[in-house]
Chain A
C-alpha cells in the first residue's frame, strides 16, 4: 500500500444557508486511478469538486491535494498545485473572447512566460489534436463551436499544462453516444500515456463501466461507498441497488460484459473521432 493519495478529503461539511450539502464527507483519490463520482442530482458532486479545487469554502473539514492543504488558499496562492492540475467544467468554461488555440495557451503563458510563440503554437496544435478537435477549430471562437467541440476544447485547455491530476465534471453529458465513447477512450488513453489521475463526475453508466478504476457514491450527504463496481454491487443500499440494477445500469453492464468477452482489437487512437 505504498500508493500515496493525491487527494484526501476529511470531514468535509458544506452548507448553503440552512441547506446542508455535505456532512462529514471523507474521500481519497489514489495516484494513477480514474475515480468516478456518482450520486443523484443535487447530492453535491460538483460542490465536492469545487471544494477540492478551492472554489467553494467549506464550513469544516480538511482537504489536501498533492499533500498540500487547499482550504483558505487565495487565487494567487498554491500555484505549485494549480500547475499540476487541469479542470474541465461542465460547459467547457472557455474564455469567450479568445480563440480555442489562445484558450489553450492561457495557462502556459501564465506559468511559463518564457516559452517562445512558436512553441506555444505547436503545443496548442498538438493539444487540440489530442483532445480530438479538427485542426481548423484552432482559430475559432467558442461561440462558433458546438457543445461537444466546446467540451473537447475545454479538455485541451485542461491538458495544456500536462497535469498529473485532471478534474472532469460530466465530460460526456450532452455528447452523442459515439462522441461519448470516444471521449471515454480518450480519457483512458490520456490516463495511460500521461499517467494521469482523474477525478470524474458523471451520470454516464457506460463511462463508469468503461474507464473507472473505482467509483465513489455520494448519498445522504456523504460518500457512502467507494470501490470497484463489482464491490459496489455487493453493497445493500437502496440507492446503489437502484442505480446499478435499474434498466440503464443493467444495460450498461451487459454492454460492458459483452465487450470484455469478445475483446475487440484496439482501433481507437487519441483524436480520431
Chain B
C-alpha cells in the first residue's frame, strides 16, 4: 500500500530551507499535509519532489500553491508531476472573484425591498393571468371546436371521482364530531334535539363546502401547480407556444372548468356524508331514530342554506384552480422552485377560500338568507 503524504524541512547553506516531500501526494493520502503546508512560515527556497511516489492534481495543487506563496523552486519533478503542475498552474490566471457578501443590514433592506417589488409584480402578473384565462375562455366559447373535452373529462376524474373516497370519509367523521360536541354542550340545557339544527345548517351552509375546498386545494391545487411547473422546467410550455397552442387554453381552462364543475358536486356529497355521520351519532347516542332525524332536518334546514353552499362552491373551485395554475406558471429555473410554488399554491388557495368564505357569510346574512 502507498505511504501517506509527508514532508521534511531541511536548512540550506544560504539560510533558506528545502522541503523534501515523500509518499503519495494524492487526494486519499493527503491527510493533514494541507494544513501544515498552509501554516508553514519558514523561508522555503526549494521543494524537492524526488521521493514522491505518486501524485494527482490535489497533490500538484498543494505543491504549486506552496511554491507560489514562498517563491520556491520545484526540483526533482518527474514527467507526470511536471505535467500535472503545469496543468493546475493555469488556474492562477483566472482568479475566482469572491462571492459578494454585503453587510447584514444592507442585505435585510435589500430583501425587504425585493419582497415588496415581488409582491407587486406577482399581483400584476396574477391579474394578467386572470385576463389571459378569461380571454381564452371567450375564445373557446366562440370556437367550441377547439375546446379540449378530453382534457376536461380527465380532470373531472382526477379532481372529482378520485377525491370521493377521502372527502367522503373526512366529511363523515366531521359530521360525527359536530354531532358529538353539539350533543354534549346542548345537553346541559336539555336541548339535545337542537343538535340536528346544528348538523343540518352547519354542513350545508359552511363546513361541507369549506372542508371540501381545503381538501381539493391540497389534492388538486397542488397537483396543478406541480404538473404545470414541471412542464415549465422541461420546456414543454415553450414548445406549446412555438407550435401555436395557447397554454391558457390547453392547460388552464380545462383545469379551471373541471374544478368549477366538480366542487359543487363534491360539496353536496361531503354535506350528505356529514349528515349521515351526524345522524348516525344522533341515533346511537341521543337515540333519535333516522326517520325522525330526517324529518326534523327538513324542517329546520332552509333551502337557502343549500343554495348558499352551491353558490360558494364553484367560486372556491375557480380560486383553487387559478391559484394552482398561476403558481405553476411562475416556476422557472430548478426543481426546488416546483416545490416552493406548489406549497404557495396550496397556501394561497386555502387562504383566499377562507377570506372569501367570511365575505360570503356576511353577505348572505345581510340579504336575509339566515
Contact = CB atoms under 8 A, between A and B. Distances in A.
B96 A136 contact: yes
Contacts of B336: 96-97
A1 to B, nearest CB: 24
B56 A194 contact: yes
Contact of A270 (B61, B80, B90, B333): B90
Interface in B2-39: 26-28, 32, 34-35, 38
Given A96-B334, A123-B61, A162-B58, A129 B94 contact: yes
A139 interface: yes
Interface in A214-273: 269-271
Nearest to A98: B334
Given A96-B336, A194-B56, A162 B27 contact: yes
Interface in B310-368: 332-336
B interface residue count range (under 10 / 10 to 19 / 20 to 34 / 35 or more): 20 to 34
Contacts of A128: 96
B347 to A, nearest CB: 21
Interface string B74-100: 000000100110011011001111010
B80 A119 contact: no
B132 interface: no
B28 A83 contact: yes
A143 interface: yes
B61 A116 contact: no
Contacts of A20: none
A194 B84 contact: yes
B79 to A, nearest CB: 10
A161 B58 CA distance: 9
B87 A193 contact: yes
Interface residues of A, number: 37
Contacts of A114: 32
Nearest to A134: B94
A203 interface: no
Contacts of A195: 80
A64 to B, nearest CB: 21
A66 interface: no
Contacts of A143: 332-334
A189 interface: yes
Contacts of B332: 143
Contacts of B61: 122-123, 126
B90 A271 contact: yes
A152 to B, nearest CB: 13
Given A96-B334, A126-B61, A135 B97 contact: yes
Closest 3 CB pairs of A and B: A96-B334, A126-B91, A135-B94
Interface of A: 83, 96-97, 101, 112, 114-116, 118-119, 122-123, 125-130, 134-136, 138-139, 141-143, 159, 161-162, 189, 192-195, 269-271
30 contacts: A96-B333, A96-B335, A97-B336, A101-B96, A112-B28, A118-B38, A119-B34, A123-B58, A125-B96, A126-B57, A127-B57, A130-B57, A130-B87, A130-B88, A130-B90, A135-B94, A138-B96, A139-B97, A141-B333, A143-B332, A161-B27, A162-B26, A162-B27, A189-B87, A193-B80, A195-B80, A269-B90, A270-B87, A271-B90, A271-B91
